Amino acid sequence: MYTPPAESAIPFEFSNSKDQITSFLDNEITYDGQFPILISKNARSLLRFIAKKILKPNDEVLLPAYTCESVIYAFIQNKIKLYDIEKTTLEPSLSSIKKNISENTRAILLQDLFGLNIDVERVLNFAQENELLVIYDSSQYLSTSSSDSNIKGDFQLYSFDRGKPLPLGMGGLLRINNEKFWGLEEVYNPSEVHRKIRFLLNLGLLQLGKNSVSYSLIEMLYLSKRDSIQKYKADEYTCSKIPFLKNVIADKNTYLKELNDHRKKVAALYSSSLDEELITANTSSIFIRFPIIHENDSIPEVLYRMGVRKMYRNNIFISKEFDNVSSNCKLKNSNFLEEFLITLPTHLGISKEIVHKISTLLKE
User: Could you read off the pLDDT of 162-179 as tens digits, one per residue?
Assistant: 778 777 777 889 999 998
List the Cα angle 39/124/156 in 5-degree steps: 5
Residue 19: the pLDDT is 62
Q: Flag whether pLDDT at 62 surpasses 70.
A: yes
User: Which residue has better confidence, 183 or 89?
Assistant: 89
Q: What distance in Å separates the CA atoms of residue 114 and residue 343, rounded to the nearest whole number?
A: 8
- Both 230 and 328 in one domain: the answer is no
- Both 174 and 284 in one domain: the answer is no
If you ran DSSP here, which 8-state letter would residue 130 be given? T
| Residue 65 forms part of a structural domain | yes
Residue 210: pLDDT band (50, 70, 90) is very low
At 98, which amino acid appears?
Answer: K
- Both 136 and 159 in one domain: the answer is yes
Residue 291: the pLDDT is 92
Q: How far is CA 234 from each of CA 30, 179, 305, rounded to the nearest angstrom?
A: 9, 10, 45
Q: Which of 39-43, 273-277, 303-307 has the highest mean pLDDT?
A: 303-307
Name the nearest CA neighbour of 300 among 354, 364, 345, 350: 364
Residue 9: the pLDDT is 36
- Both 201 and 272 in one domain: the answer is no
Residue 60 phi, psi dihedral angles, 5° rounding: -90, 140
Residue 275: the pLDDT is 77
Domain count of the chain? 3
List the Cα angle 222/225/229 in 5-degree steps: 165
| Residue 103 forms part of a structural domain | yes
| Residue 165 forms part of a structural domain | yes
Q: Which of 38-42, 140-144, 157-161, 247-251 has the lowest mean pLDDT?
A: 247-251
Q: Which of 143-147, 173-177, 208-212, 226-230 has the lowest mean pLDDT?
A: 208-212
- Both 346 and 199 in one domain: the answer is no
CATH number at residue 154: 3.40.640.10
Name the nearest CA neighbour of 75 among 50, 99, 93: 50
Task: Over range 63-89, report the average pLDDT.
Answer: 88
Q: How far from each other are the two terminal CA atoms of the chain, in whole angstroms? A: 33
What domain range is 307 assigned to? 257-363
Burial of 2 (0-12, 13-18, 19+ CB in 10 A): middle
Residue 196: the pLDDT is 55
Residue 251: the pLDDT is 53
Task: Over range 320-344, report the average pLDDT.
Answer: 79
Q: What distance in Å separates the CA atoms of residue 327 and residue 307, rounded to the nearest whole number?
A: 33
Residue 225: the pLDDT is 47
Name the nearest CA neighbour of 23 among 233, 232, 246: 246
- Both 27 and 176 in one domain: the answer is yes
- Both 48 and 159 in one domain: the answer is yes
pTM for the structure as a whole = 0.82
Q: How far is CA 346 from each of CA 10, 114, 283, rounded to the nearest angstrom?
A: 10, 10, 16
User: Which residue has better confidence, 9 or 201?
Assistant: 201
User: Which residue has better confidence, 129 or 227?
Assistant: 129
| Residue 13 forms part of a structural domain | no
Residue 320: the pLDDT is 63
CATH number at residue 261: 3.90.1150.10
Q: What distance in Å separates the CA atoms of residue 57 and residue 44, rounded to the nearest whole number?
A: 18
Q: What distance in Å separates the CA atoms of residue 3 and residue 207, rounded to the nearest whole number?
A: 9
**Structural contact between residues 311 and 116, judged by C-beta atoms closer than 8 angstroms:** no
The residues with which 38 forms a beta bridge, in sequence order, are 174, 231
| Residue 8 forms part of a structural domain | no
- Both 111 and 210 in one domain: the answer is no
Residue ranges with strand state E in the chain: 37-40, 60-64, 79-83, 105-111, 133-137, 155-159, 172-176, 229-232, 277-278, 289-293, 309-310, 325-326, 341-345
- Both 60 and 119 in one domain: the answer is yes
User: Mean pLDDT score of the chain, rounded to an integer?
Assistant: 77
- Both 50 and 108 in one domain: the answer is yes
Q: Flag whether pLDDT at 159 surpasses 60.
A: yes
Could you say which of 225, 243, 274 is where a domain stops?
Answer: 225
The residues with which 133 forms a beta bridge, in sequence order, are 107
Residue 17: the pLDDT is 47
Residue 197: pLDDT band (50, 70, 90) is low
For the CA atoms of 22, 258, 347, 275, the dihedral, rounded to the nearest 10 degrees, stands at 130
- Both 230 and 247 in one domain: the answer is yes
Q: Flag whether pLDDT at 78 surpasses 50.
A: yes
User: Which residue has better confidence, 104 or 161?
Assistant: 104
Residue 155: the pLDDT is 93
Q: For a pLDDT cut of 90, what percent of the chain falls above it?
A: 23
- Both 111 and 237 in one domain: the answer is yes
At 280, which amino acid appears?
Answer: T
User: Which residue has better confidence, 164 or 225?
Assistant: 164
Q: Flag whether pLDDT at 16 surpasses 60.
A: no
| Residue 321 forms part of a structural domain | yes
Q: Flag whether pLDDT at 308 surpasses 60.
A: yes
Q: For a pLDDT cut of 70, what percent of the chain falls above it?
A: 73
Q: What distance in Å separates the CA atoms of residue 236 and residue 221, rounded to the nearest whole number?
A: 36
If you ran DSSP here, which 8-state letter would residue 87 be given? T
| Residue 322 forms part of a structural domain | yes
| Residue 9 forms part of a structural domain | no
Q: How many helices (H) and strands (E) does the chain have?
A: 13, 13
Q: Flag whether pLDDT at 348 surpasses 50.
A: yes
